[in-house]
Structure 1
């Protein structure tokens, strides 16, 4: 039975759903693909061998491009991926996070690619904190080891339905910082900025700035510890996260942070353009008011949509990268 990949779905998640739909438990499905035991599907997220690609194209009716789009291979933000780790202590990171409310809303619960990033601490849809463990047995996500024919939103260790996990609260300031960092990364990836490596290094060292994690890098903290880290960072000046030798890049980072993210920056640009238009156009020639933020957003998306350069399933910021910084004062 063929299974259609969902928006922003991770390859391992799709493979587990494919196995379930065809009556094979994930652990046994590893043998079907000629893989070994352990985190077999999680390793495929990083690199898919040619023989696996060929088999899936033939048997699962999926294009090679679709398979590649579900992986994390070749991403500029690879250093920010949570490390592959089957077992982790209470304060260490696991390889995957999830949002219980997303699972509730899904027709068939699946894991998103964006949940693999250490810079992700909350769900942008539901506003709750991400979890990286089963709340019942405290084990990490291990769908690849499930030996029974059970959907992947049930804990492979104890059978707990992850949709029932309690909502994790995250302070609004921390969620705003998370969104701004995400927007900054997208803009710099779109521009092909040479400063993206420096930005990634600064983000990895964020726990040191926040005084969380006893010197650990961001990728080695549990989801709960990273939430605390972002909440501490949100109470401090952002200069150490956005500073750099590239003055143009630093300027864009500050603009995004000051505006509260991409949406806020678009709104401010629209407001600036509207004031400029009204001051330059005689009253008798003015057209009826339009929703400039919506028009700007639509125009920017259409002009340079390049989903292959960013994580699929996110709102695209690439057009914004082609704009030169503008003064935002009227």
Structure 2
């Protein structure tokens, strides 16, 4: 049955972590430090790519664009969460909520496809080294990046329009620290079966599709390394692939659980902690795993240091 008590909603209350008032100052400190470390790490990667000619390869081109997505991603959610941790009025306007959701979905979807593009690049570099330069041409890399952003834009606008076209009841409490689809859908005063079907389809296409491509790429990489490389190379490659797959699994796993579970489970507190994994934790560890522990990056840093010393 459809719920009644329709009312015009002008703002939403982001419940966030208000149920743990005694540790909100601690949470603010932790999230504030995490945000700044993440932003600095990603900006460092972009600047390093820009000023290091030896890093002007498809791999680091994707990494620089990935870092740009992560910076925008963090800036969409975390600042508002930090403000609400210090404020008694944890509100966000109706249109502010729509903009936040649109940007979050756009960037999250773009990130999924960027991860797949990065895995595809590594697959060609290791499994088809002789054809690598022909396959991963500059124009192809640019098209993959543009395709990631276009896909994200379509998903963000489509989902936001569908959700904010729903009528909302007199409750405006979002049981999360940002505006996301499941908690907002639970506030609707009408049946949301169509929205749920669209969300499931998009989840399969945007999340499970790129995840499958990523896993297949790394699977082929590992198989090629086992067949054709020495024990030392195998150990190094396995260490890198394992680290990458852990981050990929954290991001895709937590987001899949969020968007594939039944509506009856929406609004649970576990939702917030699942959200923390792919909105705060993954962006923090990604630069260290994908770039900062890489020998090419370390050499580029040394070359820049020497260059600035000479100048």
TM-score of the two chains, using structure 2 as the length reference: 0.27
Greater helix share, structure number: 2
Higher relative contact order (CA 8 A, sep 6+): 2
TM-score of the two chains, using structure 1 as the length reference: 0.26
